[in-house]
Structure 1
């Protein structure tokens, strides 16, 4: 009796993959937010702002260098069969050096980021840390997508949970002793170690996945098909990475490290929910790849579950933002209205997040790229160009407010457009 193909072994509506990816994202995002909270207790406010420059730059570079290959793997690995090893490790061998090289260039062009990591040591030490952290972060998230696509989503959850816990513990130890440099090390050390261990784990998991498909050698899309999907979506992913990481960098550069630290904490609350929603809906790609005949049904299920999970989280975030920031002291409490306003923006952005996931699952790379770039690009452009009050002359919340207004207006505009378009073309509502 022959075994069923790898693509047919796991059926259903993708809820397990959604939950696993969401938990993995939540572990990392919540750990990042908790890390900033701990840093605010043990480090001067300006030092927190300096350290977040390194963290944002690392995530910006590593995220951009992924080229959206994580989603590509989720689309192509279920049918890759014995070619799975080549697909996965070819991806890793592309992303890691590309991310490291980009980190090197960024550190040379914006030396203040590497100087944060260097502390009292030579600049070359900080630059080396930036390169290693970027190279590791570039493939760290890709590992999670591979584990989901091979039917091992809960390994990704355990991996993400232990990584997050280690980061928080290291920050508590190193942050008090080394300030901004300690926060950098609390990221760089786990990233390098977990990436190395994760690569070994993938070698075992992917080889077993490939060997299990005994009926066929496996199918991969042509290089032209891959490029047609990846080229626009990789550019669009860069837009999302800019949204998550360039905005807090711009806040530090334009508002100063003290107010920048407050904005980073508020923005992290946004990133926690936003990235969790993205990971939750990204599972639609692998579910659709397994059962393409159920694409419309799976999309409706994903959208309904996304709203049921994340709308209450946004309300909770708006309510708890003030008390949490108040615990950190008066310097951070000024950001409470900023958190509440950002949660309103994320509510509108959920509509955009789902539409992006649907287009990815359908293979509509051009449509995905157009929507993502316009949405994220307008927010970044607004934050770059909008006039700000001079820090120190007005309440700190008023210095941050123009960034927030731009974010909310852009997300609201796109949400209204997408909902009206769905009604016009007769797409079925959430049910």
Structure 2
């Protein structure tokens, strides 16, 4: 693999700089989403919040699955791509975006209630168009961040995500009161479309500059690309299911009012989980730059991850009740649920690191097996476990089976991964 030019490597910061930049981009997106739902809880009836979360979960589910794990693939391949970087980056984007939009169209036709939420009082076709645009944009949104990190511009990704978060929250504050659930839909779709349009232009110039400064470079063969992407794309779909299908199932099975409470508690776990995933994803580009230091880089990443995220979990559990209490009388019942979910995320950190290590080592099948089993068991449990009657049972007890399933699965996998690591 040809080394990246020295100027690019210096600009990227490498190591901890890449990790922090990826973590901050994830944190801006996740925290903005959580703040958005907090604002929505103030502005809208509880059942309207639950309806809006169905659209957001569906959009992120489709856009995340259609990425095909090309974001991590680009982080692995761009350091050695040199002058072929433009072809690699924009070929990937032109694959992801139409695929995301097409899957969004099919999803809206099969599950019309999601498009109806987006349409509000307007025609169904308008809601379907918003779903397609949202899915197509979200499919490449995170990939832009991975590209910027891989070419040595990680802090440009941070600024991009920060401004996106501010715009999204501001739009929700303006539109939420008058348009209810449709206002939340528009607060996501409008910034996604604008930021992707502008970001693609910016990406064209910075990738061309990166390519011009590098050597001729090489690209992996199609066979090696497929060998990495095929299993890891399936595994990424498992993670996307974990983040987005669980709150959808909560709304479908518990109703929109309890589903809104569960969604906000679940979003707190997603904030920490995705930030940890982004933090450890930088191990892929670090290992690609310095493969001879793979073991050392893995140990350093694990240590830093625990130092950063364990205190965040404790803080999240402690702040659950006072934050939920501010939202209204229907939300504090989710405080014990949130605290229990933080325990589950503590176990999942072990799994997240092992996934990043396998991904950085190019162990696509090992990565896929672990990710699918972990995420799939949680989804299956949430889908099939019997629930108490929401009409006659305390909301916390209605949500309890989902929480127990998540914590038990993560604890079991953490024990399994830890035992194998010790061996």
TM-score by length of 1: 0.96
**Is the contact between residue 10 and residue 151 of structure 1 (CA under 8 Å) also seen in structure 2?**
yes
**Residue by residue, what CA displacement relative to the aligned partner does 1:356-401 show, whole Å, maximum 9, x if unpaired?**
0000000000000000000000000000000000102111000000
Sort the Cα spacing of 1:309 and 1:8 in 2 relative to 1 into closer, same or farther, 3 A.
same
**Is the contact between residue 7 and residue 78 of structure 1 (CA under 8 Å) also seen in structure 2?**
no
Residue 14 of structure 1 deviates from its aligned partner by 1.1
Residue 7 of structure 1 deviates from its aligned partner by 7.1
List aligned pairs for 1:12-411, cutoff 5 A: 14-213=15-214, 216-411=215-410
**Is the contact between residue 359 and residue 368 of structure 1 (CA under 8 Å) also seen in structure 2?**
yes
Residue 5 of structure 1 deviates from its aligned partner by 4.0
**Residue by residue, what CA displacement relative to the aligned partner does 1:278-297 show, whole Å, maximum 9, x if unpaired?**
00000000000000000000
**Residue by residue, what CA displacement relative to the aligned partner does 1:134-189 show, whole Å, maximum 9, x if unpaired?**
00000000000000000000000000000000000000000011000000000000
Of residues 279-288 and 13-22 in structure 1, the stretch that sits farther from structure 2 once superposed is: 13-22
**Is the contact between residue 7 and residue 79 of structure 1 (CA under 8 Å) also seen in structure 2?**
no
**Is the contact between residue 150 and residue 285 of structure 2 (CA under 8 Å) also seen in structure 1?**
yes
TM-score by length of 2: 0.98
Looking at structure 2, the residues matched to 294 and 53 of structure 1 have their Cα atoms a distance apart, in angstroms, of 44
**Is the contact between residue 175 and residue 183 of structure 1 (CA under 8 Å) also seen in structure 2?**
yes
**Is the contact between residue 13 and residue 298 of structure 1 (CA under 8 Å) also seen in structure 2?**
no
Looking at structure 1, the residues matched to 4 and 42 of structure 2 have their Cα atoms a distance apart, in angstroms, of 53
- In structure 1, the gaps of 5 or more residues are 425-431
**Is the contact between residue 114 and residue 123 of structure 1 (CA under 8 Å) also seen in structure 2?**
yes
Q: Secondary structure at the match of 1:335?
A: helix
Looking at structure 2, the residues matched to 9 and 151 of structure 1 have their Cα atoms a distance apart, in angstroms, of 5
**Residue by residue, what CA displacement relative to the aligned partner does 1:323-371 show, whole Å, maximum 9, x if unpaired?**
1001111200100000000000000000000000000000000000000
Looking at structure 2, the residues matched to 285 and 348 of structure 1 have their Cα atoms a distance apart, in angstroms, of 22
**Is the contact between residue 75 and residue 149 of structure 2 (CA under 8 Å) also seen in structure 1?**
yes
Looking at structure 2, the residues matched to 54 and 137 of structure 1 have their Cα atoms a distance apart, in angstroms, of 13
Q: Secondary structure at the match of 1:330?
A: coil
Looking at structure 2, the residues matched to 296 and 236 of structure 1 have their Cα atoms a distance apart, in angstroms, of 23
Q: Secondary structure at the match of 1:391?
A: coil
> What is residue 429 of structure 1 aligned with on the other side?
none
Sort the Cα spacing of 1:7 and 1:126 in 2 relative to 1 into closer, same or farther, 3 A.
farther
**Residue by residue, what CA displacement relative to the aligned partner does 1:203-249 show, whole Å, maximum 9, x if unpaired?**
00100000001xx3110000000000000000000000000000000
Q: Secondary structure at the match of 1:394?
A: coil
**TM-align CA RMSD:** 1.2
Q: Secondary structure at the match of 1:121?
A: coil
- In structure 2, the gaps of 5 or more residues are none
